[in-house]
Structures are given as C-alpha cells and as structure tokens.
Amino acid sequence: MHQPIPYGRQHITDEDIAAVNDVLRSPYLTQGPKIGELEQAFATYIGSEYAVAVSNGTAALHLCCMALGVGPGTRVITTPITFSASANCVRYCGGDVYFADVNPDTVLLDPTAVRALLESHPAGYFSGIIPVDFAGYPVDMVAFRELADEFGLWIIEDACHAPGATFISETGPEHRCGDGSLADLAIFSFHPVKHIAAGEGGMITTNNESLYKHLLRLRTHGITNKPADFTTPYEGEPERGGWYMEMPELGYNYRLTDIQAALALSQLSRADAMLDRRRELAARYDFAFAEAAANGLPVQIIVPPTEVGHAYHLYVVQTPDRKGLYDFLRTKNILAQVHYVPVHLMPYYQKLGGKPGDFPNAENYYAHCLSLPLFPTLTNDEQDYVVENVMTFLKSVR
C-alpha cells in the first residue's frame, strides 16, 4: 500500500527548526522583536504599508470587523464557498451575514450577484463586503472596489488562500492579493496547510494608518501604553509613571508568539520558491485533466486567465460522482478533501434563514468538487500516482 498522501502538508526545514531554537534561547518568547520583524517582512512581501501579526486567521477577521465598527445592525455580504470563519467574524460582533452566489467559472464571489443584492435593498442597508481569494484564485477586487465606492462599503479581503497571488488591474499595474490598494483590510493565515506554516498564526495588512493603530491595540486587550493615546483628563490616577497603561476599549489577547513569528519568518524567506512549486504541480494536473476532459472523461477544472497569478492553495477538480471518487481515492491512501460545505447550509446558518436552493452555483459546485493533494514537497511520482488513480476511477464511471 502506498504511503498516505494528504491534500496538504507543511514543509519544515532545518533552517525553520534553527530559527525556532534561536527564539527559545532568547530573552523573549512573546511580544519580542520577532513580531515586528515578521510584520515588516510580510508587508514588504505583500506590498502593503502596514501589517499586524495575530494569533490566527480567524482572530484577524474578528479584529478587522471590530476595527471597522461591526455590531448589531451591521449587515455584511460574503461568499457561501469559504471556510465558515469568513462569515462567523461578523456574527462574533453581533452583525448580520448575507450571502451572494459565486461565479460558476471561478467559484469566486460574483460581483454581479453582489450588485443585485445591494440594489434589492435601500441605500445604506449594507456596510461591507468580505470577498475571498478561494483556493488561491484572486477575487475581482477591482469590481468589488467599484461596488464599495458606489454603495459606501468597506472591504475585508480574505486572502488566506492567496499569499503571493497576483492580478493585473484595468489601469495596468500588477497587484499582490492583500497589498492594500483596493481592500481596506486583508487577512492571511499561517495554519500548517497554508503557504506559510507557523503552527497557528495570522496577519492583517492595510494601507490605512488609523486602522493599523487601532488593530495594534485591539489585539492586546484594547490596552495602550503610549502616552499619545491616553485619556485627558484622567480621573483616579494621581501620577503616570513608566508602568502606566490604559484600556480605552475592550480588546482580546490575539497576539502571536515570537516562536511562531520566527517560524513564519523562516518560511517567508522561501515563500516564492514554494509558490513556484505549487504552480508547477498545478500545471501538471492541468495538463492531465484537460486532456482527460477532451477525451470525454467526466472531469472539470478551472484554469485562470494569464493575467491572474493563482497561488494554488488548493487544486480542485469537479466530477459527477464526487463521493465515489473520494471513497475510491481513500482506498488508495490518497486523502483528498472537500472545500467547502456551503456556509449557508451549515446548521447554525440554516437557523438564521439559510436553506438549500438559495445559491445554486455554490451548491452545484459543492456537489461535484474535490481537492486533490497539492503541497510543495509532493513529488512528481506521488502526483503521478494521484493522477493515475483519478483516471482509473473516471474511466470506470464514464
């Protein structure tokens, strides 16, 4: 039996281990210098003005919603094809989540569907949009920026799947996902199966200095020790020595440790090489499955246009008998996965009004999708084994 091949896997090198060991021998395990180093390096890599390191991608989403003032009565639009955190963050703050359907050709939130939703409600009804760079395919941020400007909305770009992904705007320049040029805030994840693995961890990027400073405070209980931020006048404190701090608002302990930051920094140093390998593997899959579809096998893939630099967090095929393929691959120790159960069909969101049939494109995609193994250390031989077994199954059901 072949050794198990998961859909995703972290790649830890001797350099990563050495970086973590250095921190373990240093005076700081948390709130030390590695946090600032990571933030600066990540902002430079993405192309944003600012970056804020946090404990995970979900915390990043939550803090973004807090910084943008989401609360009871706030209505936010997102996609049903995403991890539930993209919607849950609004609920954490007491806001209401509205979904719009995906484009069947990209599986990304459809700007046309979002426009229809916006136009079906009074002006000012919605406050923001959370589009998602699903699987590493950059969402149409130019279209969403135009909608946001027209309807007075903010944008949080969920770029957890897309560090290093690029697209070319209509005006010509190439953008990296999360560079702050189109979204008010963007978020990333350092979960082990993501491009940059830190065990857990996340990052928020922005070009807005005011939001940046607010996020720094929110991630640390809402507390500040900066005199410029202190309340004036202050009641109850006769003097303010070097120990003094204030909590002007309620925040959370969403800090990243220096241990995680060191690992993320080491991973970031080879991010482009790992991204190149993901794209190389995706191209090999593309070749195999495009040829299979041309020969009449029941498989569909999404190949982005040349002006899009897909980051390939996931490689997804669609086939009529998705469960059959999933079960067959498991017998071969190929641990494919499904991304995702549409969020509006989760029991929690069904209690809030979601129901089957609401978003046919998303639900049709879900009925047929399967994520195949894709990670930088996947060997060509392992990938060939995956392709061979997928083909065997497809031929058996043709």
Residue among 34, 194, 213, 323 flagged as catalytic: 194
Whether the CB-CB separation of 99 and 79 falls below 8 Å is answered with yes
Beta bridge partners of 66: none
From CA 385, how far away is CA 383, in angstroms rounded?
5
Q: Assign residue 124 a region (left: φ > 0; alpha: ψ between -120 and 50; beta: otherwise).
A: left
| Beta carbons of 78 and 86 less than 8 angstroms apart | yes
Instruction: Please choose, from the candidates 65, 64, 72, the residue with its C-alpha nearest in 3D space to the C-alpha of residue 95.
Output: 72
Check residue 179 and report its DSSP letter: S
Active-site annotation holds for 194 = yes
Helical ranges in 300-359 per DSSP H: 322-331, 347-351
- Beta-sheet pairing, 154-158 with 128-130: parallel
What residues contact residue 272 under an 8 Å CB cut-off, 6+ apart?
A: 164
CA dist 7 and 330 (Å) reads 11
Nearest Cα to Cα of residue 59 among 161, 148, 139, 160: 160
Q: Which residues are catalytic?
A: 194
